[in-house]
Amino acid sequence: MFKKFRIRFIVYAALLAPMLLPAQGKSLRIAAAADLQPVLPRFVSNFEKQTGAKVEVSYASSSTLATQILNGAPFDLFLAANRAFPQKIVDADLALESEPITYAQGSLVLWARHGILSCALTMQSLEDPSVHRIAVANPVHAPYGAAAMAAIHTLGLTAALQPKLVFAENIAQAAEFGQSGNADCALISKTIAITASLEHAGRFVPVPPSAYPPIEQGAVILRNAAHKQAARGFLQYLQSPAGRALLSSSGLEAPVIGK
C-alpha cells in the first residue's frame, strides 16, 4: 500500500519539479515546531530527491518561530504544533491562506527513565516520592507544554506535581532533560518518545486524550515566501496518502477531515 502511495508521489513530484526548484540554488526555508525534529528529515530527503529542490529547516517552539516570522524572518512555510500560532501569522496578513491548514494531529505521552518507577507508569504515578523532577515544555511557548499542563489540571494533579515541574524552552529540550537525567520523567510528544534514543533510555505511555485539548498542528505558507510553489508542493506532500502514512509511522495522526 505504502509503495503504491510512494509511486504516486514520485509521479506527482516529477510533473511539478520544474515549478518547485528554488531559483539559483537557494533553499526552501521551513520553520518547524520542535516535535517535528525526528519527523521531517525523511520528508525532506524524499522531497529533495524527487523534486531537486533544496530544503532548510529551522526547529524551535511554535511561539518562537511565530515571533521570528512576525519580525520579518524570511521563511517560506511555517509548520506549527497547533493552529493558534499560525493563526497569528494569518491575522497579521502575512500568510497566503485565510486560515491555518491542519496537516496532522499530535499525541501527548508520559516518558520515564528506566529504573525511576517500579510501579505501572501512569499520570497518577508521578505523585510517587521516587519522582523528583518532571520536564514540561514551557506552556506559553510550546503547544505540547500547554497540553501537558491541561492534562495535569484535568486529572487533579496540579497541587501534587507543581513543585516537581521543570520547564524547558520546547518539547525537544524537555526530552533532553529526561534523557540526560536532569528530570526523571517528561511530558513530551509521541514523535520524540518513539525515537531510538528515547526508547533505549526509558519507556512511555499515552496521556489520556480526554485530559487535554486536541493537538491540531497547523501550517501556513508565507505571503512573502520566496519559493511559494515549492512550499505548496511540500505541504501537499505532507497531506498526500504517502505523506500521511509517513506521519503516522512517526507518531502523528491524520487530521480530522475539514480542518
Identify whether residues 226 and 166 lie together within a single domain.
no
Residue 36 placed within a domain: yes
Regarding whether 58 and 136 lie in a shared domain, the answer is no
Its sign, for the CA torsion 163, 169, 174, 176, is negative
Residues 129 and 59 placed together within one structural domain of the fold: no
- Joined together, the cell numbers standing for residue 48 give 529533495
Q: Which pLDDT score, from 0 to 100, does residue 102 have?
A: 97
Closest by alpha carbon to 40, among 125, 132, 104, 128?
Answer: 104
With respect to residue 259, please indicate whether it lies within any of the assigned structural domains: no
Residue 225 and residue 99 share a domain: yes
pLDDT tens for residues 151-207? 999 999 999 999 999 999 999 999 999 999 999 999 999 999 999 999 999 999 999
Burial label, 211 (beta-carbon count in 10 A; 0-12, 13-18, 19+): middle
CATH number for position 230: 3.40.190.10
Domain membership flag for residue 257:
no
Which pTM was predicted? Answer: 0.87
- Tell me the C-alpha distance between 230 and 234, whole Å: 6
Q: How confident is the model at residue 257 (pLDDT cuts 50, 70, 90)?
A: low
**Is residue 148, in this structure, part of any structural domain at all?**
yes
User: Which helix (H) or strand (E) covers residue 151, if one does?
Assistant: helix 143-154
- Mean of all residue pLDDT scores within the chain: 90
CB count in 10 Å sphere of residue 101: 19
Grade residue 35 by pLDDT with cuts at 50, 70 and 90.
very high
Residue 112 placed within a domain:
yes
Percent of the chain with pLDDT over 70: 89
User: Quick check: is 117 in a domain?
Assistant: yes
Tell whether 101 and 6 lie within a shared domain. Answer: yes
Number of domains the chain contains: 2
Q: Are residues 66 and 132 in the same domain?
A: no
Inside any domain, residue 256: no
pLDDT in tens, 80-116: 999 999 999 999 999 999 999 999 999 999 999 999 9
Q: What is the pLDDT of residue 255?
A: 82
For residues 226 and 139, membership in a common domain is answered with: no
Residue 258 lies inside a defined structural domain of this protein: no
Same domain, residue pair 183 and 157: yes
Name the β-bridge partners of 109: 188, 206
Both 138 and 119 in a single domain?
Answer: yes
Given a cut of 70, whether residue 17 has pLDDT beyond it is: no
Shared domain for 98 and 222, answered yes or no, is yes
Find the domain containing 197 and state its range: 108-206
The residue to which cell 491575522 is assigned: 91
Write down how long the chain is.
Answer: 259
Are 177 and 152 contained in the same domain? yes
Average pLDDT over every residue of 225-250: 95
For 63-72, the pLDDT digits (tens) are 999 999 999 9
Q: Are 227 and 175 in a shared domain?
A: no
